[in-house]
Each structure stands twice: as C-alpha cells, then as structure tokens.
Amino acid sequence: MPEKPSYAWILDDMRVIYPVPVKGKLHLFDLDIAPTVIPESISDEELCAIFDPLYA
C-alpha cells in the first residue's frame, strides 16, 4: 500500500458468473439472486456468446 492509512479489497476465490440484469443503486451488494457460476471448461467461443451481447 502506498500510504497509511490505506484500504484495499482482497478478492479470493473469484469466479465468473452469468450476467444478470441489475438496476443501479447505491447498495453495492444488496442483490436477491443466486449467481450461476460459468464452468471453467467453457470454450472461448461460448464465453464470447454470453458476454458479446452486453457490449453491442
């Protein structure tokens, strides 16, 4: 950390989940959903098919 006091997020056991439409709000973690993890064995083409429509 460059200076004290400093803050950081420690991210552990990160996994990619399927995108879920969420209405923006201030409470970052207040979601009533159960995320579905995308398997690590998924191909690049399948992963692109999931996420490309989000950027169109």
Domain span including residue 55: 13-56
> Is there a domain that residue 3 lies in?
no
For residue 1, is it within any domain? no
Secondary structure (H, E, C), 12-39? CCCCCECCCCCCCCCCCCCCCCCCCECC
Domain membership of residue 30 (yes or no) is: yes
In a domain, 29, yes or no: yes
Judge whether 2 lies within some domain: no
In a domain, 6, yes or no: no
**Contacts of residue 17, Cβ cutoff 8 Å, sequence gap at least 6:** 35, 36, 37, 38
- Which residue(s) pair with 37 in the sheet? 17
Please state whether the predicted TM-score (pTM) of the whole model is above 0.85: no
Question: Is residue 8 assigned to a domain?
Answer: no
Domain total for the chain?
1
pLDDT tens string for the chain (56 positions)?
677 888 888 899 888 999 988 777 776 767 788 889 999 999 999 999 999 988 87
Cis ω before 2 (30° cut-off from 0)? no
